[in-house]
């Protein structure tokens, strides 16, 4: 039975417990987990980042149109020539610029007035969730809409500027920004993963592999003192585990040496008892002849001598039986206490 267990253990050590490669081991798992978590963090940051970029892009376009509108409004009552209006709209990237002041609206520049717009956005009424929703709608479904964007020309001002513009330039800018964010996120993920991989591999993975290798080598030959893990220096959990492992290996080697010593001692005792049984058997044969002697003195101590030799023979037989892991069961019997007292007195 023990031979089969030893064979299974050796098979496990040689096949099932082989050290994994760095890609399939803890190092590889740590690398991929780091990349995944950094990318997840970048994705969570991506949504508000794109929404902020869209808000800023529209605000810059509105500020440019507001600056041009203030200049044009200062030229009243003159009207701008058509070519100047077209240049202004081309420069600001709009189709129409409207200035609202003192409860009145003035169309400052327009190429051709559209019949209707597809969506309107008030930049003064900003909300995170709404901005994220509008940003993703533009990225996924937008590009062909006509937008109306309006807001105050300055913080706290009553003057409002309104522009009409195509959504295509906004979507193009957002797609470029998203590509840049994706590239930067990927680079950050790879760099962070490599740095974290190198750091944790040095601090954790290498000591763990050292412990695993020590256990594997020690299991191949537990009696070899050279296979005991050297004492680990440090105060972290892995160092403490290394010291416990080293102490356990030392204790196990001491136990194995004690068991081997006891086994050798048992073998020696068995040999001695075997020889003693042979000697006592010869003595028993000679003592049996004492019973036939007519000398009264000999007849008086011959039975005691025979009982003593019989006990010695029985004792050696029991020791030999114990060494063979087949110790005899205790036998209960009744006897006269007076006989025992008489034997002790004699």
State yes or no: pLDDT of 4 exceeds 60.
no
Percent of all residues in the chain with a pLDDT value above 70, rounded to a whole number: 74
Note if the pTM is more than 0.75.
no
Is 12's pLDDT higher than 50?
no
Q: Pick the residue with more confidence: 9 or 320?
A: 320
Report percent pLDDT > 90 for the chain: 11
pLDDT score, position 298 = 61
CA 328 to CA 208: how far, in whole Å?
A: 50
User: What local confidence, expressed as pLDDT, does residue 179 receive?
Assistant: 92
Per-residue pLDDT band for 325 (boundaries 50, 70, 90) equals very low
Model confidence pLDDT, tens digit, residues 273-319: 677 767 666 666 666 666 666 666 666 666 776 677 777 767 666 66
Tens digit of each residue's pLDDT (9 = 90 or more) over 158-181: 888 999 999 999 999 999 999 998
Residues 142-155, mean pLDDT to the nearest whole number: 87
Residue 264 near residue 285 (C-beta atoms within 8 A): no
Q: Which pLDDT score, from 0 to 100, does residue 174 have?
A: 93
Q: What is the mean pLDDT of residues 332-336?
A: 78
Give the mean model confidence (pLDDT) for residues 10-36: 64
CA distance 233 to 212: 17
In terms of pLDDT, which residue wins out, 34 or 64? 64
Lowest-pLDDT range of 53-57, 302-306, 325-329, 334-338: 325-329
Count Cβ atoms within 10 A of the Cβ of residue 68 and give its class: 0-12 exposed, 13-18 middle, 19 or more buried: buried
DSSP-based three-state secondary structure for 113: coil
pLDDT at 177: 93
Look up tokens 């009553």; give the residue.
158
Q: What is the mean pLDDT of the chain?
A: 78
Q: Where exactly are the structural domains of the chain?
A: 26-191, 246-345
How large is the average pLDDT for residues 48-62? Answer: 92
- Which position has the higher pLDDT, 84 or 310? 84
More confident residue, 214 or 301: 214
The runs of H, that is alpha helices, within 110-202 are: 128-140, 168-200
Q: What average pLDDT does this structure show over 222-236?
A: 80
Higher pLDDT: 266 or 37? It is 37
Burial 113-138 (b: 16+ CB within 10 A, else e): eeeeeeeebebeeeeeeebbebbbeb
pLDDT at 175: 94
Residue 56, pLDDT > 90, answer yes
């Amino acid at each position: 039975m023990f031979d089969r267990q030893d064979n299974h253990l050796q098979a496990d050590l040689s096949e099932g417990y082989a050290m994994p490669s760095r890609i399939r081991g803890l190092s590889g798992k740590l690398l991929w987990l780091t990349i995944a978590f950094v990318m997840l963090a970048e994705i969570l940051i991506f949504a508000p980042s794109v929404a902020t970029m869209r808000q800023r892009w529209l605000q810059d376009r509105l500020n440019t149109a507001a600056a041009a509108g203030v200049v044009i409004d200062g030229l009243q009552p003159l009207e701008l020539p058509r070519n100047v209006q077209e240049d202004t709209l081309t420069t600001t990237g709009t189709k129409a610029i409207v200035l609202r002041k003192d409860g009145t609206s003035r169309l400052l520049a327009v190429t051709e007035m559209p019949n209707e717009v597809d969506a309107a956005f008030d930049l003064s009424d900003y909300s995170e969730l709404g901005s994220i929703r509008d940003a993703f709608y533009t990225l996924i479904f937008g590009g062909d809409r006509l937008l109306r964007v309006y807001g105050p020309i300055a913080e706290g001002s009553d003057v409002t500027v309104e522009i009409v513009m195509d959504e295509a330039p906004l979507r193009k800018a957002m797609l470029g920004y998203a590509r840049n964010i994706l590239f930067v996120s990927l680079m950050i993920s790879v760099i962070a993963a490599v740095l974290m991989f190198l750091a944790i591999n040095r601090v954790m993975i290498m000591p763990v592999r050292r412990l695993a290798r020590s256990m594997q080598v020690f299991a191949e030959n537990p009696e070899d003192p050279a296979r005991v893990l050297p004492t680990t220096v440090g105060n972290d959990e892995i160092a403490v585990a290394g010291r416990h492992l080293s102490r356990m290996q030392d204790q196990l080697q001491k136990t194995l040496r004690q068991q081997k010593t006891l086994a050798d001692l048992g073998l020696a005792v068995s040999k001695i008892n075997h020889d003693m049984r042979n000697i006592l058997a010869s003595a028993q044969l000679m003592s049996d002849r004492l019973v036939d002697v007519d000398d009264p003195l000999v007849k008086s101590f011959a039975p005691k001598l025979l009982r003593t030799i019989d006990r010695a023979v029985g004792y050696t037989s029991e020791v030999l039986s114990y060494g063979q892991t087949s110790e005899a069961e205790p036998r209960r019997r009744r006897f006269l206490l007076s006989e025992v007292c008489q034997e002790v007195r004699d």
